Amino acid sequence: MTREEALAYHSGKRKGKLSVVPTKPCLTQRDLSMAYTPGVAEPCREIAKNPELVYEYTNKGNLVGVISNGTAVLGLGNIGPLAGKPVMEGKGVLFKRFADIDVFDIEVASEDPDEVIRFCQLIEPTLGGINLEDIKAPECFYIEETLKKTLSIPVFHDDQHGTAIISGAAFLNALEIAGKRIDEVKVVFCGAGAAGIACAKLYLALGVKKENLILVDTKGVVYKGRTEGMNPYKEEFAADTDARTLADALRGADAFIGVSGPNLVTPEMLLSMAENPIVFAMANPDPEIPYEVAVATRPDVIMATGRSDYPNQVNNVLGFPFIFRGALDVAAREINEEMKMAAVQALANLAKEDVPDSVIRAYGGKPIKFGREYLIPKPFDYRVLLWEAPAVAEAAIRTGVARKPFSSKEDYVRELESRLSRTRQVMHFVFDRAKQDPKRIVFAEGEHPKIVRAAKVLVEEGICRPVLLGKKENVEQLLAEYEVPREKVEVVDPATHPRFEEYVKKFHQMRWRRGVAEDDARKLMKDPVYFGNMMVHEGEADGLISGLTMHYPDTIRPALQIHHTQPGVTRVAGVYLLLFEDRMVFIADTTVNQDPTAEELAEIAFMAARVARNYFGVEPRVAMLSYSNFGSNTDERSLKVRKAVEIARQRWPELAIDGEMQADVAVEPQVAREIYPFSTIQGDANVLVCPDLEAANIAYKLLWRLGKGEAIGPILTGVNAAVHVLQRGVEVGDIVNMAAMCVLKAQRLQDH
């Protein structure tokens, strides 16, 4: 990134990084009278009667003020409120991006702590919380302490506690990697300001001994008896030591915690530290020692910086969005020590969990595993929200500061998930039903790490009992590597399976009139997809998942040869579910039938409707799409679709279906109401059946990419067994989703 690029990023047509977006429609006269006068008077009257209702009728509960006077902006020093504004806007971006919290960045033109306090007190009605930012020490301590005492919304000085929490979590993990005990290590803090003092306090609470802790500032070591540049906050940590300089303090030290300024640690100082030295050089944007210099000087260093372009970004971005999310969601009156400690533990523990593919991809695709280069979760790891916010909220409830405690942590995590992804919200419906009666699902590609990682999630969630096909030693090795609970997974090697020959014979008998000799059958049965399908056929497993490393047709073919299609249908088809902010639609057939006949199209409509109802609990309303509306064209292609509607109505009279119709008539109520009032579908279609594969494929891809939808699928329907096919190369999460759907089908084959 160059200076020019950074400046261009902040400028552009729309200046800066934030904007205000209305959350209610304001298009019509009626909208206007609701958004503004006279309608707006109603919530005003309600809040006047009951102030708590401000959380119901305004955005207060999700609005944080990022407030700064610009006296300690990053490591740039006192550059003033105006120059600090890009940082405050940046914090707003992160609040929104990571935790869906809205922010007003508020820069205050005063260095007088009492004025800043008074200002915050006066704007309390606007805000759900206050994030103090980049206010220098020692004034920041007085400001925060006073506001905490006088306001009834959470107040949190990010540079103090955010930094302390994140570095505390990374410190616990670094000690584990260094093999050192917290009550024995010598820790040097460089910087005795907002971040330094707060880190020192938290490290003591974590178990560092006060006598093993030394603070250094611009005047050198903060020692007992020093008078120059002191304040009561530093005094508390004044050390009984002969060390006077940073170099003195670092000699033999186990850890360096830098929250001061650029380039203060020399290679010589680093060389004088104990073995496996922990170096958190967190000054921004330039650390106390450059990353490259540190790792070149000490190969055994356990190194972190505050920046995103090196391993181990120890930065308060991992804290403030999630801590406020948890605090706001339970309407916490404050953010107390227990809540901070809960955040430390959540982050430290999460770093030891398997990292999802989406996170690995966001960070360049290299494997990420707990160790020297991965002490702490990555900011783009969506799980940080799901771990940290609930931990904080739970601690708020436990300590009695939550005004709106949740009744179930599980439900709260779900609510958070739906903020992150509509797919997760929808899939929970599927997961819940799968868990009620988990089935044995065989995975043809059991030697693939993604399958093993999916198996881990599946057993931990109780969705199914995975049966992994593959060479025993290969699968066992992966199971051990990913720490999958071994007793909950079966491993089957087709080559040594006692029923292998029996399967060969049975398959031979199924296919001998299709030219399959016994030897051919034996060869095919060595293919785990054929073998897995036979296991399902023979009741040794309830369902099958395959396709991660194969072409789609190669995985469907064995399933059809062994299980055929379901009674009443002659085809299989693929259905995609597309999720938008306020709507979901199923599109078919996106994967199998190139140019279906009217009969086939009717079957596709029926099967897609069944997917909607039986997997996702959506009452299907089917639109049969074309480029004409109800006979406006009479060519072969329009007629085919119209005939399909007639067939479907005859065969499945209970199905809400109409057509042929154009896509806008299917999804836009106004068009249908005005021109086609007779139609069963009044712009409320949720199952869209396209006339052929080309149309379906183009439609779903355009909707997905341009409509900013999320996609689940393709969901295979029509096979007379619980068999589901993965798209090549999909992620662990997609495998888990498909396996859950497979369980549902195995539970009630006839319904899916």
Ligand X SMILES: NC(=O)C1=CN([C@@H]2O[C@H](COP(=O)(O)OP(=O)(O)OC[C@H]3O[C@@H](n4cnc5c(N)ncnc54)[C@H](OP(=O)(O)O)[C@@H]3O)[C@@H](O)[C@H]2O)C=CC1
The secondary structure element, H or E, covering residue 414 is helix 409-420
Residue 308 site contact among Mg ion, ligand PYR, ligand X, none (CB < 5 to 8 Å, cut-off depends on kind): none
Cβ closer to ligand PYR: 218 or 245?
A: 218
The secondary structure element, H or E, covering residue 416 is helix 409-420
Q: Which of residues 251-290 bind ligand X (CB under 6 A)?
A: 259-261, 264, 282-284
Name every residue whose Cβ is closer than 8 Å to that of residue 314 and which is 6 or more positions away in sequence. Answer: 166, 167, 170, 280, 282, 304, 305, 306, 375, 376
- By CB under 6 A, is residue 244 in contact with ligand X? no
- When binding is defined by CB under 6 A, the residue of 105, 107, 139, 159 that contacts ligand PYR is 159
| CB-based contact 298:273 (threshold 8 Å) | yes
Cβ closer to ligand PYR: 194 or 693?
A: 194
Q: Using CA atoms, how far apart are residues 516 and 506, in angstroms rounded to an integer?
A: 12
Cβ closer to ligand X: 173 or 697?
A: 173
- 79 annotated ligand binder: yes
Cβ closer to Mg ion: 306 or 713?
A: 306
Residue 60 C-beta: closest distance to ligand PYR, Å? 25
Residue 206 C-beta: closest distance to ligand X, Å? 17
Q: Using CA atoms, how far apart are residues 350 and 97, in angstroms rounded to an integer?
A: 20
- By CB under 6 A, is residue 75 in contact with ligand X? yes
Residue 255 site contact among Mg ion, ligand PYR, ligand X, none (CB < 5 to 8 Å, cut-off depends on kind): none
Give SS3 for 375. Answer: coil
Peptide bond into 357 cis (omega under 30): no
- When binding is defined by CB under 5 A, the residue of 105, 134, 288, 493 that contacts Mg ion is 134
User: What would the x/- binding string for ligand X be over residues 115 to 154, using CB under 6 A?
Assistant: ---------------------xx-----------------
What are the start-end ranges of the H helices in 207-281? 232-235, 246-250, 267-271
Q: Which of residues 71-90 bind ligand PYR (CB under 6 A)?
A: 74
Q: Using CA atoms, how far apart are residues 133 and 158, in angstroms rounded to an integer?
A: 6
Q: Using CA atoms, how far apart are residues 207 and 34, in angstroms rounded to an integer?
A: 56
Q: Using CA atoms, how far apart are residues 245 and 164, in angstroms rounded to an integer?
A: 23
Q: Which of residues 307-366 bind ligand PYR (CB under 6 A)?
A: 315-316
- 76 annotated ligand binder: yes
- When binding is defined by CB under 6 A, the residue of 106, 195, 562, 623 that contacts ligand X is 195
Cβ closer to ligand X: 97 or 398?
A: 97
Q: Using CA atoms, how far apart are residues 153 and 163, in angstroms rounded to an integer?
A: 21
> Which range, of 60-68, 72-80, 356-364, 641-649, touches ligand X by CB under 6 A?
72-80
| CB-based contact 198:156 (threshold 8 Å) | no
* Number of continuous H segments (helices) and E segments (strands) in the chain: 31, 21
Residue 316 C-beta: closest distance to ligand PYR, Å? 5
Neighbour tally for 687: CB within 10 Å: 31
Residue 600 site contact among ligand PYR, ligand X, Mg ion, none (CB < 5 to 8 Å, cut-off depends on kind): none
- 133 annotated ligand binder: yes
- Least Cα distance to 579 among 716, 395, 712, 392 occurs for 712
Q: How many Å separate Cα 117 from the centre of its chain?
A: 36
Decide if 526 is catalytic: no
- By CB under 6 A, is residue 107 in contact with ligand PYR? no
Count of chain residues binding Mg ion (CB under 5 A):
2
Q: Using CA atoms, how far apart are residues 6 and 465, in angstroms rounded to an integer?
A: 50
- Least Cα distance to 326 among 309, 306, 346 occurs for 346
* Cα-only R_g, the chain: 31
Active-site choice (85, 91, 180, 234): 91
Q: Which of residues 283-302 bind ligand X (CB under 6 A)?
A: 283-284
Cβ closer to ligand PYR: 139 or 600?
A: 139
User: What would the x/- binding string for Mg ion be over residues 144 to 183, using CB under 5 A?
Assistant: ---------------x------------------------
Cβ closer to ligand PYR: 388 or 542?
A: 388
What are the start-end ranges of the H helices in 211-256? 232-235, 246-250
Phi, psi (5° rounding) for residue 188? -110, 125
- 78 annotated ligand binder: yes
User: What would the x/- binding string for ligand X be over residues 562 to 601, using CB under 6 A?
Assistant: ----------------------------------------
Q: Using CA atoms, how far apart are residues 103 and 134, in angstroms rounded to an integer?
A: 16
Burial of 123 (0-12, 13-18, 19+ CB in 10 A): middle
> Which range, of 59-67, 132-140, 172-180, 741-749, touches Mg ion by CB under 5 A?
132-140
- 159 annotated ligand binder: yes
Find the length of the chain.
752
Cβ closer to Mg ion: 116 or 611?
A: 116
Q: Please give the positions annotated as active site.
A: 91
Annotated binding site for a divalent metal cation: 133-134, 159, 284
Residues in the site for ligand PYR, rule: CB under 6 A? 74, 134, 158-159, 284, 306, 315-316
Annotated binding site: 73-80, 133-134, 159, 284
Annotated binding site for NADP(+): 73-80
Residues in the site for ligand X, rule: CB under 6 A? 72, 74-75, 136-137, 159, 163, 190-196, 216-219, 229, 259-261, 264, 282-284, 306, 314-316
Residues in the site for Mg ion, rule: CB under 5 A? 134, 159
